[in-house]
Amino acid sequence: MGNDKRFLEETFPVKEVSIESAREKNIRHGHISTLHIWWARRPLASSRATNYAALIPASNNIEEWNQRRQFISGFSRWENSLNQTMIDKARKDILKANGGKPPRVLDPFGGGGAIPLEALRLGCEVYSNDYNPVSVLIQKCTLEYPQRYGKSVRIKTDSQYPWGETKDDAVNPLLEDVKRWGTWVLEEAKKEIKRFYPAEADGFIPVGYIWARTIPCQNPLCEAEMPLMRQFWLAKKAKKRVSLLPYVEGKRVKFKIVGDRYEKAPSDFDPAKGTVSRAIATCPVCGAMVDANTTRRLFQEGKAGQRMVAVVLHKPGQNGKRYRVATEKDMEIFKEAERYLEEKRSKLMDEWGIDPVPDEPLVRVPVTFGVINVWVYGMNAWGDLFNSRQKLALITFAEKVRQAHREMLRKGYDEEYAKAVGSYLGLGLSRMSDYSNALCIWDKGQERTVHVFGRQALPMVWDYSELNPLSSTVGSWESMAFRRIWKVIKTISYISPIEAENFVPVVKQSSATSLHHPDNYFDAVFTDPPYYDNVPYSYLSDFFYVWLKRTVGDLYPELFSTPLTPKKNEIVAYSNGPGGWEDGKAFFEDMLKKSFQEIHRVLKPNGIAVIVYAHKSTAGWETLINSLLDSGLIMTAAWPVNTEMQSRLRAQESATLASSIYIVARKIDRQSTGFYNDVNEELKRYLSKKLEHLWEEGISGADFFIAAIGSAIEVFGKYEKVIDHEGKPVRADRMLDDVRKIVTDYAVKQVLHNGFSGEISDMTRFYVLWRWSYKTARVIFDDARKLAQSCSIDIADEWNRPGFIKKDKEFVKVLGPTDRDLSGIKGSRELIDVLHGSLLLWREGRHDEMMNLLKKSGLGDNDTFYRVAQAISETLPDDSDEKKLLDVFLRGKERLREGIRGSKQGRLF
């Protein structure tokens, strides 16, 4: 690749790609997110768009420039991910830019495989790497096996499979063998354990069992078994409302089904009010309370239990579900499964040389309580997260997966091919475990079991749903291994081979700080590194690791030789040492810098890197910049791509960086020393052009600052070191303070339209900028301090005074008019105070007092006053109370101004 600028370094359709990236969250059929869980996986849309834009040259021709932007926007759509015409065009463009050869691309933090998959789609030679063995296996099934074995061939067939091909069909052998052996596994499992999920006499089958954990009431006069349930809803839809109704007989809590088509619920019964919240439980028999510490102690002492309270039924071929209360017969069947579990467990332990039920310890995550908190309730091994029938089902399926692999070899399958087929079956079992554990809740809205990893944590669940893995419901073997995995194999197998003859993507396990590649080897590095403690990858992936070890561990001894996933060199900010968080933070920053140094080493001199940053604080952003600079990589652009739905962002109480920042970096020959005064002047000149371009891209708020900083680093990074007039080195954090002031001035002028920012005070400037950046959200102190500093305000001085800046724990909040009291505004001549006071008086109908306030302040007939009000309104969402007040107020501004001009002295506060 030449030294010319790449398209991504000059421009990028941020808005269009952001929309597609957010929309992709709702796509399931064939998307790699349904192959297997991986946390914080990048959207395919943004990965495809940024990879392509980084591999094609920039253009000075306006027509070509527009055509490329439009192509990138269209190509980012999920519907076009298999559009062969667009793929061929993208590959042709990239080959031309790379001298006719496919670019060699590396992702040293491959994770869930999104970024390298999109590089593969673009025709690149793809190499991917990860430290975590679960990630490596997922990537092999995403990148390597579909390319090696998933290409369609013409075959003669006797239609022996249930999906029934006809003669001379074009068949994807990998897909068909995963179908065949997935069916074999299910049928073999049914033969053995179907009796533990018996159908009703009328043909309805159980698809779920609702369980409540129990503790004894601590009232010595009661001591009843207390069912712990967060709520009692079973179905809560517009046309179907069904719940469990608890009632007491003697000292026994019983249940009945009430609601539509069942017995009518009592008028005073609220199914939303359960018996437990935040570990504080209430006895339904005597009303006694059990505090959270006592609840946890009872679990730790083994005095807690569980009780099946309801059965969910469904008839194949019919819509809807029905419910009944669990019976003694249901519990007897469950106990039979328990007895069979012990028998089977002993047998498999002898065969496998390992306990088939995961007995590995559930390692306590050295981060915030709540990420994995089940150990507080006595769950100390991974097997403790499953009830007996779930354990039986999972070890039975695991046994059948292993047997399927042996059968393939017995039938003469190629060893590596059988390993690939077995790997998908192993992922099917691993994926099913996400739905078959005692931490899954019942979704009353969709009437189905919800998988445990709805978020990046394993929290305690009081009442849980046990699904029937032999059914066709979401989470079952048929759903996981049949429908979801097959669709992914089919979709990604459509990606045609790259131009390099016989090349297959290479996936390796190793640390990003020690890459097994020669110097100057890659044309591009595209990657998404971890961010401090955002996701405890290794601790969460242990959940899957222990089951994968029991299904495909023998096929991958290099990946599954350790008891749990490796953690010592994981690049995260956890610390088990005496230094706690500070040691962990320092460890992360040092390891991140080493990984960037490795990227610098393996990248060709004219190569390009795209690094995704998604940490929530600007402090982390500054650390990343310094790490890049120390590695020798220089940022040449930064684009914020929003990957979340706007409705979700507006609902956030605390502001974080809304977007993932795609950083473009290069290996650039650096000048030895720059003097900061000169560098600062160069920054101003460069940013004056760059900021206008970023504004035209529609980038706003906190993202605008980040993108501007990315541009500024290109100037700062040209020098090996920058020194001030005293000869002291200047680091990125100091430079960023100056950049913020430049960006602040530009942003305020733009927000206020055509610039009259010199006519307003620092506090007004700060308020306008805050609303534009963060709307009404709380902001962590350091980010708030930096924004205030760019407006020449010391925020710590301001929050102790009457005003609109308030401290809220570790956050800072800027109050709107409806959060303020008129008494705190009285006498102030600050524009925002007068505006807030006027809005409150207007709302309360105190018109004369409002007119007096506007007149005495001198702002009532001031054009700047109303333009500021208009600017604030434009920054706020439509549902904001402040915006509604402002808009009503502004509609009457001309009448107000006329009244002030002609009025006499009126009453004041």
| 703/692 Cα distance (integer angstroms) | 14
pLDDT at 364 over 90: no
The CA distances from residue 144 to 112, 495, 526, 565, 875, in Å, are 13, 12, 18, 22, 47
Task: Calculate mean pLDDT across residues 698-710.
Answer: 79
Each residue of 285-307: pLDDT tens digit?
999 999 999 999 999 999 999 99
- Looking at residue 904, its pLDDT comes to 46
* CA 85 to mean position of chain CA atoms: 32
The predicted pLDDT at position 187 comes to 97
Structure-block tokens of residue 161: 């499979």
* Tally of CB atoms within 10 A around 110: 32
pLDDT digits (tens, 9 = 90+) for 150-200: 987 765 555 444 434 444 467 999 999 999 999 999 999 999 999 999 999
Task: Give whole-number Cα distances, 337 to 186, 387, 398, 547, in Å.
Answer: 18, 10, 17, 20
What value does the mean pLDDT of the chain take?
89
In our burial notation (b when 16+ CB lie closer than 10 A, e otherwise), range 125-162 reads bbbbbbbbbbbbbbbbbbbbbbbbbbeeeeeeeeeeee
**Token pair for residue 597?**
């140094």
Both tokens of residue 59? 């253009």
Q: Which residues pair with 154 in a beta bridge?
A: 170
Overall residue count recorded for the chain in this entry: 909
Contacts of range 641-645, beta carbons closer than 8 Å, 24 or more positions apart? 641/14, 641/17, 641/18, 641/21, 641/46, 641/50, 642/18, 642/21, 642/22, 642/703, 643/18, 643/21, 643/22, 643/25, 643/42, 643/43, 643/46, 644/22, 644/25, 645/22, 645/25
- For the segment 28-42, the average pLDDT, to the nearest whole number, is 91
Q: 465 falls in which pLDDT band (50, 70, 90)? A: very high
Task: Choose between 534 and 537: higher pLDDT.
Answer: 537
Q: Is the pLDDT higher at 152 or at 458?
A: 458
Question: Is residue 594 pLDDT above 90, yes or no?
Answer: yes
Please, what sign has the CA dihedral across residues 598, 602, 605, 608?
A: negative
Lowest mean pLDDT among 55-59, 275-279, 628-632: 628-632
Q: What's the pLDDT at 749? A: 85
pLDDT at residue 755 is higher than 80: no
Instruction: Please say if the pLDDT value at position 482 is more than 80.
Output: no
φ and ψ of 534, to 5 deg? -55, -45
- Quote the pLDDT of residue 616: 61
Question: Does the pLDDT of residue 147 top 60, yes or no?
Answer: yes
Average pLDDT over residues 761-778: 89
- Sign, Cα dihedral of 151, 156, 162, 163: positive
92 or 738, which is more confident: 92
The β-bridge partners of 205 are 314
Q: Look at residues 106, 105, 107, 109 and name the one whose alpha carbon lies nearest to residue 131.
A: 109
Q: Check whether 113 has a pLDDT greater than 60.
A: yes
pLDDT band at 905 (very low <50, low <70, confident <90, very high): very low
Write the DSSP symbol of residue 280.
E
> Both tokens of residue 270?
């609220």
* pLDDT tens by residue, 852-886: 899 888 888 888 899 999 989 988 888 889 999 99
The mean pLDDT value for 6-28 works out to 89
| pLDDT at residue 367, rounded to an integer | 53
CA separation for the pair 639, 711 (Å, rounded): 10
Residue 175 host element (H or E): helix 173-193
The β-bridge partners of 639 are 662
**Which residues have CB under 8 Å from 247's CB, separation 6+?**
253, 254, 255, 256
pLDDT(513) > 60:
yes
Q: What is the pLDDT of residues 806-861, one digit of tens each?
A: 988 888 999 999 998 888 788 888 999 999 999 999 999 998 899 989 988 888 88
Asked if residue 135 has pLDDT above 70, the reply is yes
User: Is residue 774 pLDDT above 80, yes or no?
Assistant: yes
pLDDT band for position 907 (cuts 50, 70, 90): very low
pLDDT given for residue 175 in this prediction: 95
- Residue 906: the pLDDT is 44
Tokens standing for residue 69: 């932007």
Gap between the Cα atoms of 614 and 405, Å rounded: 40
With 90 as the cut, is the pLDDT of residue 500 above it?
no
pLDDT tier at 644, thresholds 50, 70, 90? low
How much is the pLDDT for 863? 87
pLDDT digits (tens, 9 = 90+) for 341-362: 999 999 999 999 999 999 999 8
Q: Taking residues 327-331, report their average pLDDT.
A: 97
CA distance 690 to 239: 55
* Confidence class for position 686, pLDDT limits 50, 70, 90: confident
Backbone angles phi, psi at 660, to 5 degrees: -90, 130
- Residue 593: pLDDT band with limits 50, 70, 90: very high
Question: Is the pLDDT reported for residue 617 higher than 70?
Answer: no
Dmax (CA) of the chain:
102
H-state helical runs in 24-61:
44-55
Q: Of 903 and 693, which is predicted with more confidence?
A: 693
Taking residues 82-107, report their average pLDDT: 96
**How confident is the model at residue 456, as a pLDDT?**
84
At residue 137 the predicted structure's pLDDT band, cuts being 50, 70 and 90, is very high
